[in-house]
Structure 1
């Protein structure tokens, strides 16, 4: 069986790596300051390595699940990066699978450069939640050539229930940005609608009584409103910093494609404003509280009499 490498053991990555390991693959995981997922995987049989170069020199397939394009580029092209390790071991045929939500332009650029060294880059960003990652029920949105996809499919099958091949390299990241634009756009719309409604005397409960079960209902709506109505922060664990990053990438892609995307810019700017005021680590549904507070509105929470 192929030796698998993994870098980026966050909320999604740890679940993916755990399912790869459970399927019987030899797994190398890159050391990180967040010890809990590393220690858990090592206890279950994974091997820890101290550099991305070791992943490149020892593995057949390396998965990346990190924040964005700068982190992907550093892991691949750094002095102790995956490319350097593969070159030192003459690792022709290495496949790198980028599960991050990254910039399609960077993905295509890296893929072209890596191909000169006999390394194939595929993009396979994720659809789903951390709970689905742990259960092996994610969706992979794959960009790259069909033959490489078939070669890595058995590994993808360990953590997915659906694999969608959407086009050449970079297409996966493009489709993921479009998907997240829709999701974060809904988040922005729900946020502003709640504040407008509250100012006009419409409570979140009244709002929900009309929307829930209607054509405007959705899985995203339900997890967003699980926070709004029940204050359950774990219902929708996607940070505002990541939302800003993804909408920023989408707005940049629109500009690159010569599309005057005013809605994309407006959505980006709303998430940027939350991160700029220090709320980047809060989750997307909490944007409803942040925006409401700017207008002296409180949604299902007592006013902060201490002025915090």
Structure 2
């Protein structure tokens, strides 16, 4: 197995995944527009370079973790992008959360130049990405997925094959639609319980072992009780993923009215100054709407 990896996109998730790969014994050459992100990789034992071209040069494995469809298109298909620079036979593993059509378009262009493409969005927190405990959805030709698995194994405890390139993006979008709706309803319900006079900690203790609980409720709301809204998954990323889901529904003529309402409330949270905070800060939005709430849920840390 080739132990040398080019990794492009060293943000909160990508940077942690790159550091995990270094820890797992891979040689990682990474690039990000942000100099601080590149320095974080150096601090973790990787090598930072100054361009996509320098990252891709000499590598047969390229992994990407990018914020949105436009970044994926520019990175893969732009002038001096990955598809133009990579040598035939190179394995391209995209870990981003984007729409399936963009992923399929990238895959088609890459295959025309004899490149291998695997569609691999991830589910989990930044902590999971650093610990190698992510869930990874894998779409692509079965042979290409098999070649990618040894690299993905370092990042995950669960890997699930979903079908052709683009299928994994569909599954990830659906997952995030469910998760964002869950956090919003949990925030609304929790604020109601506190408004009715139940102490926040007591309410959490009961709900975290009751039927309404979820992964996000149990893991995120305990931070909110301490006034900790540091981003594990930012509200603006949740709004972006909801937009992807709604867009997919429009393309398929499949109505998504509930997701549309959830997105509106995520957008409202951004308008109320919660950009850059974790999605559990939706709870604070509800609390702000009720200034006479009898039990404080916690003040936002600056």
Give the TM-score normalised by structure 1: 0.88
Task: List gaps (5 residues or longer) in structure 1.
Answer: none
How many Å separate the matches in 1 of 2:35 and 2:284?
A: 29
Tell me what 1:85 maps to. Answer: 85
Match of 1:41 in 2: 41
Tell me whether 224-233 or 157-166 shows the greater mean CA deviation: 224-233
Partner of 1:253: 248
- CA deviations on 1:206-260 (whole Å, 9 max, x unpaired) are 53354221122232111232133222335x6110010100111111111112111
Unpaired runs of 5+ residues, structure 2, are none
Match of 1:4 in 2: 5
Q: Which residue of 1 aligns with 2:61?
A: 61
| Matching residue of 2:283 | 288
Cross-structure match for 2:115: 119
Question: What SS is found at the alignment partner of 2:274?
Answer: coil
Return the alpha-carbon distance in structure 2 between the equivalents of residues 2 and 196 of structure 1: 52
Which residue pairs with 1:15 in the alignment? Answer: 16
C-alpha separation in 2, matches of 1:50 and 1:102: 25
Check conservation: 1:240, 1:284, Cα contact below 8 A: yes
Query: Cα offset for 1:203?
Result: 4.5
Asked if 2 retains the 8 angstrom alpha-carbon contact of 1:55 and 1:82, the reply is no
Select between 21-30 and 153-162 the one with higher mean Cα deviation: 21-30
Deviation at 1:120, TM superposition (A): 2.5
Shift, 1:2, TM fit: 4.6
CA RMSD of aligned residues (A): 2.3
Question: In the TM superposition, what whole-angstrom CA distance separates every residue of 1:52-99 from its partner, at most 9, and x where no partner exists?
Answer: 13333332111111212111111112223112222xxxx001222111
Alignment of 1:122-137 (within 5 A): 122-137=118-133
Q: 2:225 touches 2:297 (CA, 8 Å); kept in 1?
A: no
Q: Name whichever of 284-293 and 219-228 sits farther off.
A: 219-228
Q: Does the CA contact (< 8 Å) of 2:223 and 2:229 recur in 1? A: yes
CA contact (8 A) 2:30 2:38 kept: yes
1:30–1:50 contact (8 Å) kept in structure 2: yes
User: Partner residue of 2:74?
Assistant: 74
Work out the CA distance in 2 between the residues paired with 1:250 and 1:33: 28
CA distance in 2 between counterparts of 1:303 and 1:165 reads 42
- Structure 1 stretch displaced more, 37-46 or 219-228: 37-46
Question: Is structure 2 residue 6 aligned with structure 1 residue 30?
Answer: no
Q: Spell out the pairing of 1:132-171 with structure 2 (5 A cutoff).
A: 132-171=128-167
Give the CA deviation at 1:45.
4.7
Aligned: 1:242 with 2:243: no
